[in-house]
C-alpha cells in the first residue's frame, strides 16, 4: 500500500490511500466539506401537496413534459452516485477530498430520495410509475443520456471485455480519469441537470409546481457545489501535472460537451414536441449552448458557441435560492450561518 507523503504520492492523482490530515495538503477541499455540512436539508421539508392540484391543470403537452422530466430524475442521481464511489472516491487521493466526496454521496442519496418521493406523488398509477423508473431502458431520449454517462464510466466500471483501470499509473489513465471527472461535473451535473432545472423554473415562473421548485432549489444548490468541487480538483491537477492539459485533451472535452448538448437536445425535442408557450427546442438549444460555454470557460478554454441565456427565469436563480436557503435556516432552526458562499461560474 502506498503510504502518506512518500515521493510517489505527492500528487492528487498518484495511486494510493493517503490518510494524513495533518499537515493538511489540500485545505480548500476540507473547507468545501464544512460548507456542505452547513447546507443540510431533508426531503421531509419539501411539501408537494399543492403540486398534485397543479398537475391536474396542465395541458396534455405539459403533462407529457413533466412525465418525461420526472422519468429522467428517477435515475440521474443514482448514476452520479455510482460514479462517485467507483471512480472519484477511488482515484482522488486526498483524505480531505474524500471527506467532501463522502458528504456529496450523502447529498446524492437525498436527491435520490427526493425524486423517489416526487415520483410516488406525481405518478399514483403503479404501471406509469414502474415505466418511469425503467426509463433508461424504454424511453429513447433518456436511454441516450444514460448511454452517454455509461460511455465515460466504462473505463473505470469494467464490464464485458473491458478491464477497469485500477490505478492511475500512466498519463493515458490520468487523462481518462480527467475526462470522467469533467464529464460528470460539466456534462451531467452541469448540463443535463441544468437543462432539467430550467423546465422546473419555467413552471414556477407561471406559478406552478411550487413543491418541485422548492426541492429543486436545494438540489440546484448542491449540484452547483458538486460542480465547483470537481472543477477545483481539475485546477489542482492542472497545477500539479500541466502536461496532461494538452490540445488533445481540450479537443476531447469540447467534443464531449458537444455530444452532451446533442443528447440533451434530443431530450428537449421529446419533451417540447411542437413547442409550448415560453418553452421550445430552439430556446433550449440556446440555453444549453450558453451553459456549455460557461463550463468551457471555467475549465480555461474559449467559449465555443457565443450563446446567450434566453431564459430570464434562470438568471436570478442562484441569488434567489441562496436568499431562500438562509432565510429558511434562520427561521426554521435558528442556526447561525457563517461564512460566504460563491457560485464561481453559474447563473
Ligand atoms: Fe444530485
Ligand atoms: Fe451531484
Radius of gyration (Cα) for the chain, nearest Å? 20
Distance from Cα 77 to the centre of ligand 1, integer Å: 5
* Residue found under cell 494524513: 20
Nearest to 194 by CA among 219, 231, 229: 219
Q: Which ligand is nearest to the CA of 100?
A: 2
Residue 26 designated active-site: no
Inter-residue contact 303 to 296 (CB < 8 Å): yes
DSSP 128-177: HHHHHHTHHHH-HHHHHHHHHHHHHHHHHH-BTTBPPP-S--SHHHHHHH
For 88, which DSSP code? Answer: I
Ligand 2 center from residue 80 Cα (angstroms): 6
Nearest by Cα to 148 from 20, 38, 257: 257
Greatest Cα pair distance, the chain, in angstroms, is 64
Name the CATH superfamily, with its identifier, for domain 59-328.
Answer: Ribonucleotide Reductase, subunit A (1.10.620.20)
Q: Which residues are annotated as a binding site for Fe cation?
A: 77, 108, 111, 189, 223, 226
Q: Which grid coordinates are listed for 265? A: 437536445
Nearest to 185 by CA among 66, 101, 287: 101
Which ligand has the shortest distance to the CA of 189?
2
Of 71, 173, 45, 192, the closest CA to residue 129 belongs to 71
Report the C-alpha gap between 288 and 292 in whole angstroms.
6
d(CA 191, CA 282): 16
Looking at the chain, the number of H-run helices and the number of E-run strands are: 15, 0
Q: Is 259 helix (H, G, I), strand (E, B) or coil?
A: helix
Q: List C-alpha distances in Å: 283 to 60, 134, 275, 305, 308.
A: 21, 29, 10, 14, 10
Residues with CB under 5 A from ligand 2 (ion): 189, 223, 226
8 Å CB contact between 182 and 153: no
Which is the catalytic residue, given 115, 194, 199, 287? 115
| Residue 227 CA, ligand 2 centroid: distance in Å | 7
Buried b (16+ CB within 10 A) or exposed e, 80-103: bbebbebbbebbbbbbbbbbbbeb
Which pLDDT does position 160 carry in this prediction? Answer: 79
* CA-closest candidate to residue 199, choices 7, 69, 336, 29: 69
ω before 111 within 30° of 0 (cis)? no
**Distance from residue 120's CA to the centre of ligand 1 (Å):** 18
The whole-number pLDDT of residue 174 equals 98
One digit per residue, pLDDT tens: the chain, 347 residues? 444 444 445 899 999 999 999 999 999 999 999 999 999 999 999 999 999 999 999 999 999 999 999 999 999 999 999 999 999 999 999 999 999 999 999 999 999 999 999 999 999 999 999 999 999 999 999 999 999 999 999 999 887 788 899 999 999 999 999 999 999 999 999 999 999 999 999 999 999 999 999 999 999 999 999 999 999 999 999 999 999 999 999 999 999 999 999 999 999 999 999 999 999 999 999 999 999 999 999 999 999 999 999 999 997 665 555 555 555 554 333 333 333 333 334 44
Query: What cell was used for 279?
Result: 418553452
Burial category of 25 from C-beta neighbours within 10 Å (exposed 0-12, middle 13-18, buried 19 and up): buried
Grid coordinates belonging to 202? 419555467
Provide the residue ranges of all domains of the chain, joining segments of one domain with +.
Answer: 59-328
Q: Which residues contact 81 (CB under 8 A, 6 or more apart)?
A: 105, 108, 109, 112
Place of cell 466526496: 101
Amino acid at each position: 500500500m502506498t503510504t502518506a507523503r512518500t515521493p510517489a504520492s505527492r500528487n492528487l492523482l498518484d495511486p494510493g490511500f493517503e490518510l494524513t490530515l495533518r499537515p493538511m495538503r489540500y485545505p480548500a477541499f476540507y473547507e468545501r466539506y464544512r460548507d456542505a455540512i452547513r447546507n443540510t436539508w431533508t426531503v421531509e421539508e419539501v411539501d408537494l401537496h399543492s403540486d398534485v392540484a397543479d398537475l391536474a391543470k396542465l395541458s396534455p403537452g405539459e403533462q407529457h413534459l413533466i412525465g418525461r422530466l420526472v422519468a429522467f430524475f428517477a435515475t440521474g442521481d443514482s448514476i452520479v452516485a455510482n460514479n462517485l464511489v467507483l471512480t472519484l472516491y477511488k482515484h482522488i487521493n486526498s483524505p480531505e477530498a474524500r471527506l467532501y466526496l463522502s458528504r456529496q454521496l450523502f447529498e446524492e442519496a437525498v436527491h435520490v430520495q427526493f425524486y423517489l418521493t416526487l415520483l410516488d406523488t406525481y405518478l399514483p398509477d403503479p404501471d406509469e410509475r414502474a415505466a418511469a423508473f425503467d426509463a433508461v431502458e424504454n424511453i429513447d431520449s433518456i436511454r441516450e443520456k444514460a448511454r452517454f454517462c455509461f460511455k465515460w464510466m466504462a473505463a473505470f466500471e469494467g464490464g464485458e471485455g473491458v478491464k477497469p483501470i485500477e490505478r492511475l499509473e500512466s498519463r493515458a489513465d490520468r487523462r481518462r480519469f480527467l475526462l470522467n471527472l469533467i464529464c460528470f461535473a460539466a456534462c451531467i451535473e452541469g448540463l443535463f441537470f441544468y437543462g432539467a432545472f430550467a423546465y422546473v423554473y419555467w413552471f414556477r415562473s407561471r406559478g406552478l409546481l411550487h413543491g418541485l421548485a422548492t426541492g429543486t432549489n436545494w438540489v440546484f444548490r448542491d449540484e452547483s457545489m458538486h460542480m465547483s468541487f470537481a472543477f477545483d480538483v481539475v485546477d489542482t491537477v492542472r497545477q500539479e501535472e500541466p502536461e496532461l492539459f494538452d490540445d488533445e485533451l481540450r479537443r476531447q472535452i469540447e467534443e464531449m460537451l458537444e455530444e452532451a448538448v446533442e443528447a440533451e437536445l434530443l431530450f428537449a425535442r421529446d419533451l417540447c414536441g411542437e413547442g409550448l408557450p415560453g418553452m421550445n427546442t430552439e430556446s433550449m438549444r440556446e440555453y444549453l449552448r450558453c451553459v456549455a460555454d460557461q463550463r468551457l470557460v471555467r475549465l480555461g478554454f474559449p467559449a465555443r458557441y457565443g450563446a446567450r441565456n434566453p431564459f430570464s427565469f434562470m438568471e436570478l436563480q442562484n441569488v434567489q435560492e441562496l436568499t431562500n436557503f438562509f432565510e429558511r435556516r434562520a427561521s426554521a432552526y435558528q442556526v447561525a450561518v457563517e461564512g460566504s458562499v460563491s457560485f464561481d461560474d453559474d447563473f
